[in-house]
Amino acid sequence: MSGGTEPSAETLTALYDILETFNKTGAAFAPGTRFSEDLNFDSLVVMEFVAVVEDAFDISIPLNILPDIATIKDLAVAVEKIVAE
């Protein structure tokens, strides 16, 4: 999903803050950090994490877009798009 749009630093920082509580690998966060490969998120963790992100931004993230979200940047872009709608 990584494309032309660059997410804002605020959105990324907010996601990093949420990710702290889910990160069991100790990996540092960057826009290109991948949920599955770098953070070892399994389907259960993804679901719990998405629920917290939804609460934090007061949005609903459709399940349909999850397969296209590989990195933190992908998620940040998607979140901003939903917030803007």
Least distance (Å) between residue 21 CB and another protein: 14
Identify residue 71 by its one-letter amino acid code. T
Site membership for another protein, residue 64 (CB under 8 A): yes
Judged by CB under 8 A, the residue of 6, 51, 68, 81 near another protein is 51
Using CA atoms of 32, 39, 24, 59 in order, give the dihedral in degrees to the nearest 10. Answer: 70
Site string for another protein, 2-41 (x = CB under 8 A): ----------------------------------------
> Coil, strand or helix: which one is 45?
helix
Listed residue (41, 42, 38) closest to 29, CA to CA: 38
Site membership for another protein, residue 60 (CB under 8 A): yes
Q: How many Å apart are CA 65 and CA 23, to the nearest integer? A: 22
Least distance (Å) between residue 65 CB and another protein: 9
